[in-house]
Amino acid sequence: MAPPQPLVFTVRRRTREIVSPAGPTPREIKYLSDIDDQEGCRLQIPVIQFYRRDETKHGKGHPAKVIREALAKALVFYYPMAGRLREGPGRKLMVDCTGEGVVFIEAEADVALADFGDALHPPFPSCWEELLYNVPGSGGVLNCPLLLIQVTRLSCGGYTFAVRLNHTMSDASGLVQFMTAVAEIARGAREPSVMPVWQRELLDAPKPPRLMPTHAHREYDQFPDSKGTVLACPDNMAERSFFFGEAEITALRRLLPVHLRQCTTFDVLTACLWRCRTVALRPDPDEEVRLICVVDARSRFNPPLPPGYYGNAVGLPAAVAAAGDLTKKPLGYAVEVVRKTKAVVGEEYMRSVAELMVAKGRPRYTVVRTYMVSDLKRAGFGEVDFGWGKPVYGGPVAIRDVSSYLIPSKNGTVVPVRLPASAMETFVKEVDNMIKGRYDRINSPL
């Protein structure tokens, strides 16, 4: 998929508001979990939803008015979202449930949905920031609003719903749960169909602490930057999205031995991307490269985490391989590594991560010679209906240097990738060669 063409439009914003809960809420302190407050979650994550004009709902008024009122009602149930983060001893984060509220912006834009192109997906034109305005002073982790929402009506009658979330509060599943609650109330419900569950203590480190974590956690290894990493090439970056439909996935499966051909789309696609990206970045063959698989652990606890739990509940297990092995061995090698990496995530693994956070000062996952892949095909962004139908696109806005998202698209999956321009050329060729069967590395996998 080609990069987006420049797009210029004007957005007229009303004065930003602070939307507080529509009713009384408890004034209390609620602690985040030891998974929530790790360094890698201490940032803001932007998401955008694009909605078409719905002729049957044309008389319903500006979506912003409906969503604003529903947001205030939803915050009664999700009242921690209306609070502010504080930091205690040992960098422990907590929510001061002040009921102050979240930032809300109503806007109009002189651009139509069709102007964004036939296929809505990252990378979006550089002007997307106009649809999610960075209110000065609102983007910090501590002592700032935990949510910023902008609803922009487009000239065609469609609209966008853009949200910026303090990641310590929720992962993708938790954010979708909150957005769904707002959407249900916007459509007339009195309360969310799934009631929110806090219970962050379920993902805290065991008390008393054990002598050491039970897993190695190579995902949190810290070492210097070096050749063969995106971080060493911050300038002249290129962004592209790649589409993988049934034909492309089938072509990749043909490169696998028979016993692996029933693996998941995530497994084969992630293995392909990791391998092609490593070839493109050209690290030394004996250097270690990492793949972090973002794995939702909700169902991997015994019993599973309660429905309605909206905190961060993902594991970030890392596969580690020599660059030479990854690029020279058959694709089946990488698939096996991906499968084994995902399999380690369970209740014991998550408790071990929590222990490491407490013991090591809540470190960030490593980004050096690392590629992170997150599967959003079942996250549910595309199902959020505020009363004007489901979105044409729902999900991430920006492309990150070391990460890719698997985003559901009509008849397939879209994967945004960001690399140095020279590496992107090689990456495109490598992916194309694999899909077209020009896979002539040593050893046939068949």
DSSP 8-state assignment for residue 401 = T
State residue 134's pLDDT score. 93
> Residue 231: is its pLDDT beyond 60?
no
pLDDT digits (tens, 9 = 90+) for 281-307: 999 999 999 999 999 999 999 999 999
Q: List the one residue out of 342, 362, 353 whose CA is nearest residue 299.
A: 342
| Closest among 149, 181, 146 to 162, alpha carbons compared | 149
Residue by residue, DSSP assigns 141-206 as SSSS-SEEEEEEE-TTS-EEEEEEEETTT--HHHHHHHHHHHHHHHTT-SS-SS--B--GGGGSPP
Q: Are 227 and 284 in contact (CB under 8 A)?
A: yes
392, 397, 400, 404: CA torsion to nearest 10: -10
Type of residue numbered 414: V
Confidence bin at 172 (pLDDT 50/70/90): very high
Evaluate if residue 351 carries a pLDDT over 90.
yes
Per-residue pLDDT of 403-427, as tens digits, reads: 999 999 888 999 999 999 999 999 9
Rounded to the nearest integer, the mean pLDDT of the chain is: 91
Band of the pLDDT at 399, cuts 50, 70, 90? confident
- Please count the CA atoms within 13 angstroms of the CA of 45 that sit on its side-chain side: 18
Predicted pLDDT of residue 170: 98
Q: What is the pLDDT of residue 441?
A: 45
Same fold, 11-202 and 218-443: yes
Does pLDDT of 445 surpass 60?
Answer: no
**Residue 334 to residues 81, 181, 256, 270, 321, Cα–Cα distance (Å):** 40, 39, 10, 9, 9
Strand residue runs (E) in 268-309: 288-296
Determine which of 115-119, 150-154, 273-277, 299-303 has the lowest per-residue pLDDT on average. Answer: 115-119
**206: which residues sit within 8 A by CB, 6+ positions away?**
351, 354, 355
More confident residue, 197 or 228: 197
Alpha helices in 289-384 (DSSP H): 323-328, 331-343, 347-360
pLDDT-based confidence at 118, cuts 50/70/90? confident
Strands 412-420, 370-375: pairing kind? unpaired
For β-strands 370-375 and 288-296, DSSP reports them as parallel
- The predicted model scores a pTM of 0.93
Looking at domain 218-443, does it have CATH number 3.30.420.40? no
Q: Is 277 left (phi over 0), alpha (psi -120 to 50) or beta?
A: alpha
Topology given in CATH for the domain delimited by 11-202: Chloramphenicol Acetyltransferase (3.30.559)
The span from the CA of 406 to the CA of 379, in Å, is 10
Positions marked active-site: 167, 385
Domain boundaries, the chain: 11-202, 218-443
Q: Is 58 helix (H, G, I), strand (E, B) or coil?
A: helix
Through-space distance between the first and last CA atoms of the chain, rounded to whole angstroms: 30
Q: Facing residues of 164 across strands? A: 46, 148
